[in-house]
Amino acid sequence: DAEITQSPRHKITETGRQVTLACHQTWNHNNMFWYRQDLGHGLRLIHYSYGVQDTNKGEVSDGYSVSRSNTEDLPLTLESAASSQTSVYFCASSESRTSDTQYFGPGTRLTVL
Amino acid sequence: AQSVSQHNHHVILSEAASLELGCNYSYGGTVNLFWYVQYPGQHLQLLLKYFSGDPLVKGIKGFEAEFIKSKFSFNLRKPSVQWSDTAEYFCAVNARASYDKVIFGPGTSLSVIP
């Protein structure tokens, strides 16, 4: 069955370190998204991609970057981790650009000390 | 800019009680509407969605939602909840002019007491 996976599932890091969260989908979807989930804010869009070599900023993109070198993967990098980036991060994918259902990964819980 | 509000942060119900979770959005154009659910320890998954047609949409597990365009609302309902419905519920909106950018509400945590 097609799926979307994230790794690691839990990560503890220190302020100032670079961290990369992996997202891999086997749906063969063109569209991929990164969200962060914080209490009281729901899910907020960090970055998204509509295809290989395409990346776009979401509403909370500062301090994060993504790259899309193939269809399956959209890694999220925190250039210099800050305590404010402690959160649960979800990756998602969807098939079409006419806003189809998004399929979510299991999430990565990141703690920045 | 689009935004989504959900009326309740946390709802506690007894089993067999009826459920209605409120969702309102701010956008004047044509929208797609979603309810997602996150069961404890699980992925977010789609509960139901509205794109067009009948404004009363039926989803999985006995849930339904009604789109009322004049009220910019998309409330989620279930006539009789079960303990297994305990979860976080997210309303989401996509403005059709912005392709796949979906805006999520802050979520409502539902606790069902056996």
Alpha-carbon distance A15 to nearest alpha carbon in chain B (angstroms): 27
Averaged pLDDT for residues A1-15? 94
Give the span between the Cα atoms of B89 and B44, in whole angstroms.
9
Give the span between the Cα atoms of B32 and A110, in whole angstroms.
31
CB contact under 8 A, A101 and B49: yes
CB contact under 8 A, A106 and B43: yes
Determine which of A32-46, A83-97, B34-48, B95-109 has the lowest per-residue pLDDT on average.
Answer: B95-109
Evaluated on CA atoms A85, B95, A92, B91, the torsion sign reads positive
Binned at pLDDT 50, 70 and 90, residue B98 comes out as low
Q: Which two tokens stand for residue B11?
A: 């709802």
Q: Name the residue facing A104 among B43, B100, B103 (closest C-beta).
A: B43
Q: Which residue in B105, A66, A5 sits closest to A58, CA to CA?
A: A66
Query: Hey, what amino acid is at A54?
Result: D
Give the mutation candidate from A31, A33, A99 for the B interface (greatest B CB count, under 10 A). A99
Mean pLDDT of chain B: 91
CB B37 within 8 A of CB B3: no
Binned at pLDDT 50, 70 and 90, residue B30 comes out as confident
CB A108 within 8 A of CB A79: no
CB pairs under 8 A between A and B: 54
Averaged pLDDT for residues A41-46? 89
CB contact under 8 A, B100 and A41: no
